[in-house]
Structure 1
Amino acid sequence: MQNIVKGQAKALRVFQIGVVGASRDAFAALSRIFGVTRYRTRSYQAVPLAVNAKQVDDAIDFIILCTSNPNVLNYWQSRRPQGKALGRPLIRIEKGAAESKDGYVISAPVNPSRLLRQLDQYTIKEMNFFPEFQIGSESDELCETTLEGLKLLKKDGSSVNKRYGLQRALVVDDSLAVRKQIEIEFGLLDTEVDCVDSAEAAIDASAKTAYDIIFMDVVMPGMDGYAACKRIKRSPLNKNTPIVLLTSRSSSFDKIKGTLAGCDTYLVKPINHNEFESVVNKYFSEIRTQAR
């Protein structure tokens, strides 16, 4: 069995923002705005791009057009230069611009807080980057930012992020909040979920149903997750099912116990949306389907 060890939830990422058509002062202003984000889990860095660039670095995540010149707009919106970054969203900064249906128009002069808030939304919607939603966090409440992020991940119901072979999951945790948090994550993948609150109940469920993946807490009243993992790995229906153990313990001894129990992945809580996604992506590849 392969054992993957994850650390404490830290989803630090710097998004490269290609800036086209900005004056020297405007580019400096954007750089100052982005500089505020340098200590966040999600930060931004401005990268100058020529209005007639022939090549765009693949590391560019978004492109901002700071121009109303129709020739420049046509070049970047229709022909565009070469590079993998071509698939990245174009954000237009226009003077007195009204809200557009796709939300990728920002009115000038730019309000720094609004710009960063919109970029945060774009990274959730376009890059599926959502470090704020944490499983096993101390707070059980879903703040407004989290709720808005979940709505963006659902993409207004137009599509769901299904995975090949991932149809049914088992979630085992004595915490109702954690069960609900993981259930929300699987809901975004259009996956059926069975939730139980004890290791004994997990063993009973795994004896009756074949699951595609199991997320299980380690510390629970009665039998712990290690013992349950061993039992489930001996069951005919789920002996090959990936089991992800969730725990607040991060010592080497606990990780070894997880490996010996036969778990496939050992995660230290709290884990965020992107860490959850990385585990799911390890075993199931994405397919795009229209929502039913």
Structure 2
Amino acid sequence: MDMALTAEIPQGGTRRFVLEMLGFTDAEKNLLSSTFRLTGRRPFAYAEADNAAERTDIYLVNADNPHGLAELKTRSPNVHAPAVFIGRRGTVAEWPVVEKPIHWMRLFEQLDNQMSSALHERAQRQATGWDGRTRRRAADRNLPPPAPAVEARTNESVLVVDDSATVRAFMRNKLAPFRFDVDFAETGEMAIDMAQAKNYTCIFLDILMPGMDGYQVCKRIKSSPATKGAAVVMLSSKSSAFDKFRGSWAGCDAYLGKPVPEDELLATIARFLPSARRVAQSVLARAS
């Protein structure tokens, strides 16, 4: 992202862009919306319009759906309000395409690139003395200008418990873009003490550790009134049905295999964020 373009965003703040999804089913929209809530912790955040008075900043289109492609033509996307497609490459030529299955970080990167270019074009237009209406899309002509940068929301706290420095570095790298308040523990005993002292939204817990193993730590966390509200996601290279049963018996909320797939990690985070939990659970219920 061009640093000059983010200068208008206060440190620790977020610039919100209105995103319109075209050609997706309701279930697909719900899944996308729950994941886009994660971008609220990034310099560029994306969300659907709160009301009809908000203009669309960027379009996300299902390239495999003819109805979605037809809808986009009526919206007249341009350099000031661009589009990103999800689907097969070669379907469209005008805008970037993110292939399925969706790699979330690649999608966020494409959205950021398009909006960085759009902000540059908007700045150039303003520099020429643009009156706010001329050459603007007819649908947007009477709408107010985009909202200014806003302060970032309070970060959720996340605890990563793993004796492997490699895993801790991986998790730090993947969680950093979303501005979570992330702490790390190398042992189960340390994790229990930290969880008692601080409220965590989500705890990523390795199973095989020196001293107390992850199953024991999970049981302790879930049996304590002070910590039972935290979502516990167990991490393990063991993925047999028996191992998953032991995790469920210990009270864990989710189970991820190692190495942790990035998309599964993001989906799991979205599932346990308070702002995304209702939507994510409804999608999971539909899929079952």
Higher strand proportion (structure 1 or 2): 1
Q: Which has the larger radius of gyration?
A: 1
TM-score by length of 1: 0.47
Higher relative contact order, structure no. (Cα contacts within 8 Å, ≥ 6 residues apart): 1
Structure ranking higher in helix proportion: 2
